[in-house]
Amino acid sequence: MIGDESAAAERAAWLALAAVPGIGAVLFARLVGAFGSARASLEAAAAGQLGGTGRELGIPAPARRAIAEGLEAAATRAGALAELGLWTLTPLDAAWPGRLAVVAELPPVLYGWGDPNVLSAPRAIAIVGTRRPTLVGRALTSRIATAVALREAVVVSGLAIGIDGAAHAACLAAGGRTVAVIGAGHRSPGPTAHRDLVRRAIDGGGAVVSELHPDLPASRGTFPRRNRIISGLADATVIVEAPRRSGALITGSHALEQGRPLFVAPGRPEDPATAGCLDLLAESDARPVASIAHLIDDLGWERQDSVLRARLEPPEEERGWLPGSVEQELARIVAAGPATLDALVTRTGLPPGTVAGALTLLQLRGWVRPMHGTYLAAGPLLAGRVGRAAPSRPRSA
Amino acid sequence: MLATLVTAVIDGLAGALVRVEVDVAPGLPGCHIVGLPDAALSEARERVRAAIRNAGYQYPASRITVNLAPADRPKRGAAYDLAIAVGILVASGQLRAGGEAIALLGEVSLDGSLLPVPGILPMVATLVRAGYGRIGVPRPNAAEAGLVTGATAIPLSGLDDAARVVAGSRGRRARAAHLQVPVRVSGPDRQQVIETAGPDADGARRAPAGVALDGASDPVDLSEVRGQPAARWALEVALVGGHNLLLVGPPGAGKTLLARAIPGLLPPLDEGEAIESTVIASVAGLLGPEARLRRERPFRSPHHTCSYAAMVGGGPRLAPGEVSLAHRGVLFLDELGEFDRFVLDALRQPVEEGRIALARASGQVVYPARIQLVAAMNPCRCGFSGDPERACRCSPSEVLRYQRRVSGPLLDRLDLRVELRRVPSEELLAMDDPEPSAVVAARIVNARARSLLRNGGRTNAEISGAAIVRAAGLDRQTRSRLAEIAEAATLSARGVHRLLRVARSVADLNGEPVVDEPALLAAASLRDPREADPSALAA
């Protein structure tokens, strides 16, 4: 850095250049490479010297003209940032997350809501998967997200419906911070159903980021491309459930290319819902998620389950409630996997009215959540607060 | 000469007296009927003329005037045919009344035979009340007419038969000319065998077959429904209290099978209800030759292609529809998603008010329609939403939209909701035999009787909000639990009352005098989670 003033000027030029429509990561890098700095690129354009070099570099004409308009036009585009309350992060900044260094086609800028420092949190795990998961997949996602969030890891995902949303939500429920990387500009921050999730992520100390200018809508290529940032912002990526040709598999490939560990939850053989996962496991260096405990071990993190469980103690006023024997039994079954009312009646042998009533109580306490008639573990149950049936292996969860 | 006879028509569910006056006088030949709408006029005239001639009498070549009084009362149906025909015979001197006074009901066929008419039961009841105990009716309607106390039903086969009865022993009847022998007609549901010879011969007439059945095929015994313990319990609760129930599940889960077991579980009608139900069936023309007082609670299961008029009532005769035929019973709508939306919308009034008002150009009528709804639907287009192990092919917003679209008009009115899953056959075979219908029905009847006693003859679903709060008798702890549930589910006051009603039925089923906490919690699980939390869908 030459001096504060010129550093600031370079940053402003950097932002202006990055905001030019048509200039993405690739072209930006070429320009800066050719002219030495963003500022120099803008000056060259203003002086009308962009023509020949511009064409050589592959800059389309409209973009060349826009660059020539220089900083004044950029100021207008920057108005969108203020309006939406967005901050910007560039590689010139100290706060730029070091993890992103491995990302191919480094994004010149990240726009964001929330806390930019969360991107550099000591631990970060990406959790991705299909937009149409089974309830089993959802439940597993919630358990993984809870487990990592309890161990102070930030959960990174793409804010898509399905696995992404489940991961963000479970992380927040466990009191963790989450980062969402969206595939469009911030004017279209993800699915309508997730608007509340966006707010909660920000309120919880997380962030919602994008490499695209806020005015840019989502388009075909933007989602696969943003997946490289998801994996880039995380120490490791976990794919929970993905059929063939799912976008989540792209995130996995990026993780491997970036030299980061990839964990994949295996499904059943020949099950189309998890066929993508099995392919990855068979054909790449991805490691299987055999259990939450295995995953934690493979990440090199400590177990300390009892300590962590205590963090999810219910608030003072609810301490008086102890689950009865029926509730305990039901909680144990649901903790192991989603179950319908019928399944619970059959397995416990209790009358349907009794089981139904106990489930209502568990639901009121936040231990289970009904979804289209099937009950999933929630809240404290996700963290294993109620003892699960002991697994057959010597290692216990 | 003037002849005066008495007949009746149907007005809503009640009969109405009609006086028939026939005058035959010299003048330009023609028959003028006063007091009927135009279309029915010419129809009646043609029927009567053909019947008189084919029965072997003479159709007078004079000026015939027929008056159906009172003139302003709407007259639907053709039950007045017989009275008009006999009136013409009397007024033209071919017949002299000699027997006791007799009222006449029946539609005439072109060959002089008599056809049964719907609504005999209420019409006869009205006539008896007005002092006309002797009533001539078409033979197939005789059993139905005989159900009314104080009625002496005289079965009649045809116009000639009626003339004989009217003449009695002291009256006089012109000998009918030799009958023309009509060509034997045989078709899929009409078997008319006409024997000829002289006027005294009573043709053996069989009633037209194909009288509509109840709409339910053979009921299924509950022991044939394996698995689905939650749904079976929910069904019990629903039948105890008369609550509307929604069964949600993929094709093949067993929703239809379970619903078809309902007729075997419904408690019988009491005396008043039975009469009501039989009258409605009578007006709808469903009481066949073996008419009897219907004790079974109705179970109607219209196909989803059911038209608006068939469901709600209407048509030219303002006949009662499925909602009225199911009065005091159950209306089962299978494949709720396939029903026409307007038809579903029309169910609002019956479900909310227990009656249906029909207005047509031909008149207005209000039929009772206090029904219990049971409906079955798929959870979503592909059917796998909520299946723990199969991925649903629909997006969450598609699922939500589907459910709203399908049960939208009725969403507010479905008190219980239960999900069914397909059970693989190996699991089914491994299960124990479930309880048979008789056992479960007895339980339902007992629980229901307890509730009726406490509620002064009404089911838990029928009593008011204030009354259900009283009937629930919550203690302090249960009340605070109720508050907790109400807040967690953001229930309105109406929602709270609905929850209490269901809880009251659960408690009745358990034999508890008041609604305790387990009953309240159990009832809460059966509640329809109407407004699905969007972030819950997403996450």
Model ipTM value:
0.74
Cβ contacts below 8 Å, chain A against chain B, sum to 138
Q: Between chains, do B539 and A168 touch, taking CB under 8 Å as contact?
A: yes
Helix (H, G, I), strand (E, B) or coil at A301: coil
Beta strand pairing status for A262-264 and A236-239?
parallel
Residue pair A209/A188 in contact by the 8 Å Cβ criterion = no
pLDDT tens per residue across span B221-243: 888 888 888 999 999 999 999 99
For chain B, the helix, strand and coil percentages under 3-state DSSP, each to the nearest 5: 40, 20, 45
Q: Between chains, do A353 and B536 touch, taking CB under 8 Å as contact?
A: no
Q: Between chains, do A360 and B485 touch, taking CB under 8 Å as contact?
A: yes
Asked if B386 has any chain A CB less than 8 Å from its own CB, the reply is: yes
Q: What part of B 129-168 touches A (C-beta under 8 Å)?
A: none
Residue pair A103/A60 in contact by the 8 Å Cβ criterion = no
Q: Between chains, do A136 and B388 touch, taking CB under 8 Å as contact?
A: yes
Nearest to B522 among A142, A161, A353 (CB): A353
User: In Å, how far is B390's CA from the nearest CA of chain A?
Assistant: 6
Q: Between chains, do B419 and A369 touch, taking CB under 8 Å as contact?
A: no
pTM for the model stands at: 0.76
Tokens of B463: 């009593």
pLDDT value for B180: 56
Instruction: Provide CB contacts within 8 A for A62, sequence distance 6+.
Output: A21, A22
CB-based burial label for B307 (10 Å; 0-12, 13-18, 19+):
middle
Q: What part of B 237-296 touches A (C-beta under 8 Å)?
A: 248
H-run or E-run covering B374: strand B372-377
pLDDT value for A188: 86
pLDDT value for A313: 55
Q: Among residues A61, A2, A60, which one has the least CA distance to residue A36?
A: A2
User: In angstroms, rounded to a whole number, what is the distance separating the alpha carbons of residues B171 and B80?
Assistant: 22
Q: Between chains, do A132 and B534 touch, taking CB under 8 Å as contact?
A: no
What is the Cα A68 distance to its own chain's centre? 37
For the cut 60, the answer to whether the pLDDT of residue B526 exceeds it is yes
User: In angstroms, rounded to a whole number, what is the distance separating the alpha carbons of residues A28 and A17?
Assistant: 7
CA dihedral B88, B92, B95, B100 (to 10 degrees): 60
Which residue blocks in chain A are alpha helix, DSSP H?
4-18, 25-35, 38-46, 51-57, 61-84, 135-150, 163-173, 195-203, 222-232, 247-257, 275-283, 292-298, 305-310, 325-336, 341-348, 352-364, 379-382
pLDDT value for B208: 26
What is the Cα A187 distance to its own chain's centre? 19
Tokens of A317: 């006023």
pLDDT (average), residues B53-74: 88
Chain B residues touching A135 at Cβ < 8 A = 386-389
User: What values do phi and psi take at A219, rounded to 5?
Assistant: -145, 180
User: In angstroms, rounded to a whole number, what is the distance separating the alpha carbons of residues B133 and A152?
Assistant: 92
Instruction: Provide CB contacts within 8 A for A181, sequence distance 6+.
Output: A156, A157, A158, A159, A209, A210, A226, A229, A230, A233
CA atoms in the 13 A half-sphere facing the CB of A316: 0
User: What values do phi and psi take at B115, rounded to 5?
Assistant: -105, 145
pLDDT value for B334: 92
Higher pLDDT, B183 or B323: B323
pLDDT tens per residue across span B475-523: 999 999 999 888 888 888 888 999 999 999 999 999 999 999 999 999 9
Look over chain B and give the mean of its residue pLDDT values, rounded to a whole number: 83
Chain B residues touching A358 at Cβ < 8 A = 521
Beta strand pairing status for B355-360 and B363-368?
antiparallel
User: In Å, how far is A170's CA from the nearest CA of chain B?
Assistant: 8
For chain A, the helix, strand and coil percentages under 3-state DSSP, each to the nearest 5: 50, 10, 40
Q: Which of B49-53, B143-147, B359-363 has the lowest mean pLDDT?
A: B359-363
Nearest to A165 among B392, B506, B538 (CB): B538
User: In Å, how far is B389's CA from the nearest CA of chain A?
Assistant: 6
pLDDT value for B177: 59
pLDDT (average), residues B40-49: 86
User: What values do phi and psi take at A172, rounded to 5?
Assistant: -65, -40
Asked if B530 has any chain A CB less than 8 Å from its own CB, the reply is: no
Q: Between chains, do A339 and B488 touch, taking CB under 8 Å as contact?
A: no
Nearest to A342 among B228, B397, B539 (CB): B228
User: In angstroms, rounded to a whole number, what is the distance separating the alpha carbons of residues A243 and A285?
Assistant: 18
Helix (H, G, I), strand (E, B) or coil at A119: helix
CB atoms within 10 A of CB A203: 10
User: In angstroms, rounded to a whole number, what is the distance separating the alpha carbons of residues A102 and B399?
Assistant: 40
Asked if B233 has any chain A CB less than 8 Å from its own CB, the reply is: yes
Asked if B538 has any chain A CB less than 8 Å from its own CB, the reply is: yes
Q: Between chains, do B522 and A161 touch, taking CB under 8 Å as contact?
A: no
Nearest to A340 among B388, B399, B485 (CB): B388
Tokens of A359: 């489930």
Nearest to B488 among A273, A338, A364 (CB): A364
User: In Å, how far is B347's CA from the nearest CA of chain A?
Assistant: 26
Q: Among residues B19, B81, B6, B75, which one has the least CA distance to residue B46?
A: B81
User: In Å, how far is A219's CA from the nearest CA of chain B?
Assistant: 20
Torsion sign, CA atoms B97, B99, B103, B105: negative
pLDDT (average), residues B5-28: 90
Q: Among residues A105, A124, A113, A67, which one has the least CA distance to residue A88?
A: A113
Q: What part of B 499-518 touches A (C-beta under 8 Å)?
A: 506, 509-510, 517-518
Beta strand pairing status for A287-288 and A339-340?
unpaired
Tokens of B161: 């038969």
CB atoms within 10 A of CB A350: 17
Q: Which residue of chain B has the CA closest to A338?
A: B388
Q: Which residue of chain A has the CA closest to B486?
A: A364
Chain A residues touching B385 at Cβ < 8 A = 372
Higher pLDDT, B465 or B533: B465
Q: What part of B 177-196 touches A (C-beta under 8 Å)?
A: none
Percentage of chain B surpassing pLDDT 70?
Answer: 87
Q: Between chains, do A193 and B391 touch, taking CB under 8 Å as contact?
A: no
Chain B residues touching A357 at Cβ < 8 A = 517-522, 524-525
Q: Between chains, do A170 and B536 touch, taking CB under 8 Å as contact?
A: no
pLDDT value for A72: 65
Q: Between chains, do A134 and B484 touch, taking CB under 8 Å as contact?
A: no
Q: Between chains, do A356 and B522 touch, taking CB under 8 Å as contact?
A: yes
Q: Which residue has the tokens 């009115």?
A: B413
User: In Å, how far is A221's CA from the nearest CA of chain B?
Assistant: 21
pLDDT value for A110: 94
Do you find a cis peptide bond into A122, omega within 30 degrees of 0?
no
Chain A residues touching B510 at Cβ < 8 A = 353
pLDDT (average), residues B30-45: 80
Nearest to B388 among A338, A346, A359 (CB): A338
Tokens of B279: 């009258």
Nearest to B388 among A170, A243, A374 (CB): A374
Nearest to A194 among B385, B423, B538 (CB): B538
Q: Which residue has the tokens 């026939």?
A: B22
DSSP per residue, B245-284: EEEE--TTSSHHHHHHTGGGTSPPP-HHHHHHHHHHHHHT
Q: Among residues A333, A350, A313, which one has the least CA distance to residue A388?
A: A333
pLDDT tens per residue across span B432-446: 778 889 999 999 999
pLDDT value for A394: 37
Q: What part of B 418-437 touches A (C-beta under 8 Å)?
A: 418-421, 423
Q: Between chains, do B388 and A373 touch, taking CB under 8 Å as contact?
A: no
Helix (H, G, I), strand (E, B) or coil at B151: coil
Q: What is the pLDDT along chain A (397 residues), one digit of tens a residue?
A: 456 778 888 888 888 888 887 788 888 888 888 888 888 887 777 777 766 676 777 777 777 777 766 666 666 777 778 888 899 999 989 999 999 999 988 999 999 999 999 999 999 999 999 998 888 899 999 999 999 998 889 999 999 999 999 999 999 988 899 999 999 989 888 888 899 999 999 999 999 999 998 888 888 888 888 999 999 999 999 999 999 999 999 999 999 999 999 999 998 888 888 999 999 999 999 999 988 888 988 998 877 665 666 665 555 445 456 678 888 889 889 988 888 888 898 888 899 999 999 999 998 888 888 887 788 888 777 766 554 332 333 333 3
Chain A residues touching B421 at Cβ < 8 A = 340, 342, 373
